[in-house]
Amino acid sequence: MFKPNFRYTNKIVHSLISISAAREIILSSPLIPKWEVFLRREAIIHSAHSSTSIEGNRLSVEQVSELAEGREIMAIQKDKKEVLNYLNVLNNIDKLTKGNSICENDILNIHRLVTKDTLDNPDDCGVYRNRYVVVGNRFTGKVFFRPPQNKDVPNLIKDLVQWINSEESKELEPVIEAGIVHYEFVRIHPFIDGNGRTARVLATFILYQLGFDTKQFFCLDDYYDSDRQAYYRALQSVDQNILDITNWLEYFMEGVNVSIQAVKQRVLRLSSERLRKTKRGQIALTEKQMKIVEFINQNGKITNKDIRNIFIISPQAAYKEIKKLLKLEVVKPTGKGRGLYYALR
């Protein structure tokens, strides 16, 4: 059976501690409400944009957002289809397997979903490679990596799947397991094309399945796409003779940490210290209400006029919005008449 080779370094341990602390803040925040649907949608859009962009897709994040809304855009059909496929997979991540474990057919199906109607040869969709491939620069011809032979792919994937479902893997932190699977899948390189996207979906699925990111708030792909050369250098840093993936895991853990810290900061802007200490549980707010709370956190208070200017609405409509927050006991009024303003309770 596959057995990963790595060691816990100070950098990995520090990342794990930082990730755990940030995740606890996010999950215990009283202001992660129905509005979390918006956070989830935002993460999925950025993931779809970044993961496909790494492999050459030319759509902007704005165009990806348009596609996510079901709108038509002017772009190359292949680029649109790659993004739509990725969006579909992330939106249905809870349906990628039929049970609590993952099997070889699940991996083939993920590849099929990710690459549907985008490959030069449709027969390569959801099928292990039958032609040898190398990883390199298509313009210079420089080869960066030579994956295992075609005949070895099925057994290597079987070994990886067996490890994913083993007790050994379950003893690891979810982010460590996801990082291991991400690298090993890319190393095996089981398909003609679409290996990177499939690997990133698989890592995301593991974080979801193990309960680490069940709300799908975290977008790791943004970190990879922000410095593609660093991503490829980290993948190529592994000595193929001993397959020690410690350096890769340090990079992967840093990416998880950067992603989760960004979400934490967003959540902290939406929560006052007092609200975070309450035991009332989560408060369901609309997007407008969340913007009001964020404005108060940044400015200390908000007035009826501020609300009118933010949303371009009438004084009556502005009061209606603040009245909802008063009823939820999220804000409190201070002062009277023209001096009236609202602060967090």
Closest CA to 59 of 72, 49, 51, 69: 49
Residue type (1 letter), 328: L
Closest CA to 70 of 85, 84, 55, 50: 84
Closest CA to 48 of 32, 69, 27: 69
- Residue ranges of the chain assigned to CATH 1.10.3290.10: 10-269
Highest-pLDDT range among 136-145, 205-214, 328-337: 205-214
- Residue ranges of the chain assigned to CATH 1.10.10.10: 285-344
Residues 132-148: what's their mean pLDDT?
77
At residue 245, does pLDDT exceed 90? Answer: yes
Tokens 């496909």 belong to residue: 52
Q: For residues 290 and 296, is the Cβ–Cβ distance under 8 A?
A: no
Torsion of CA 227, 257, 51, 71, to 10 degrees: -120
Q: Which two tokens stand for residue 9?
A: 């370094």
pLDDT of residue 272: 57
* 301, HSE (Cβ side, Cα atoms, 13 Å): 11
More confident residue, 206 or 141: 206
pTM to 2 decimals? 0.78
Give the model confidence (pLDDT) of 181-198 as tens digits.
Answer: 999 999 999 999 999 999
Give the model confidence (pLDDT) of 41-69 as tens digits.
Answer: 889 999 999 999 998 999 999 999 999 98
CATH C-level class of 10-269: mainly alpha
Which CATH architecture is the domain 285-344 placed in? Orthogonal Bundle (1.10)
Distance of alpha carbon 235 from alpha carbon 229, whole angstroms: 10
Q: For residues 87 and 48, is the Cβ–Cβ distance under 8 A?
A: yes
Residues 309-313: what's their mean pLDDT?
89
At residue 33, does pLDDT exceed 70? Answer: no
Distance of alpha carbon 122 from alpha carbon 110, whole angstroms: 15
Closest CA to 272 of 23, 24, 29, 39: 29
Residues 127-145: what's their mean pLDDT?
79
